[in-house]
Amino acid sequence: MTTSLYDLTISSSTGESINLGKFQGKPLLIINTASHCKFTPQYEDLQDLWLYFRNWDLNIIAIPSGDFGNQEFETNEEIRNFCLKRYHIDFILAQKSHVKGKQAIPLFQWLNKAGGYISKPRWNFYKYIISRQGKLSSWYSCLTRPSSKRFINAVERVAYDL
């Protein structure tokens, strides 16, 4: 398995390859998402977070997945249209991918290894905060809103390199 996050690539919702090495030295927030989940309104908070923290080099990557109750559209185009029209997101939206089990994409295999068994996503909208050094700083379940004080404090720690 790859030992560095920066050795990995993902595909955007439009099919473009994204080398995670381009985020070296920058904080990242990675979320597994779904369009038809009771937590989907968190997209709004994520967009607000992105607008505020992007000046501190924070990048947000949403990884849509149908792994939990098949709560995602079938095609990347449907997902992208939904996210743009409903939530006006302009952070990175990746291609629909598996985030759990043996089919998980390498990024989620890396996250699962970095955080251990307890950090594996058990539902949509698990949030993973990556430090500027490329290490998993903290993770939060779907129950933690991106607008919560606890979560914002964790993002501030990596954004401001505290």
Q: In the prediction, which pLDDT does 47 show? A: 98
Return the amino acid letter for 109.
Q
* Choice between 1 and 29, residue whose per-residue pLDDT is larger: 29
pLDDT digits (tens, 9 = 90+) for 148-159: 999 999 999 999
**Of the residues 8, 18, 37, 152, which is catalytic?**
37
Binned at pLDDT 50, 70 and 90, residue 61 comes out as: very high
Q: In the prediction, which pLDDT does 118 show? A: 86
How far apart CA 142 and CA 71 sit, in angstroms, is: 14
pLDDT digits (tens, 9 = 90+) for 73-127: 999 999 999 999 999 999 999 999 999 999 999 999 999 999 988 899 999 999 9
DSSP alpha helix (H) spans, the chain: 42-53, 76-87, 106-115, 149-159
Q: Residue-wise over 115-128: b if at least 16 C-beta within 10 A, else e?
A: beeebbbebbbbbb
What is the SS3 assignment for 61? strand
Binned at pLDDT 50, 70 and 90, residue 132 comes out as: very high
pTM recorded for the entire structure: 0.95
Q: In the prediction, which pLDDT does 81 show? A: 98
CATH class of 5-159: alpha beta
Q: In the prediction, which pLDDT does 37 show? A: 97
Q: Shortest CA distance to 14 belongs to which of 103, 111, 83, 107? A: 83
Q: Is 37 a catalytic residue?
A: yes
How far apart CA 124 and CA 2 sit, in angstroms, is: 25
pLDDT exceeds 60 at position 2: no
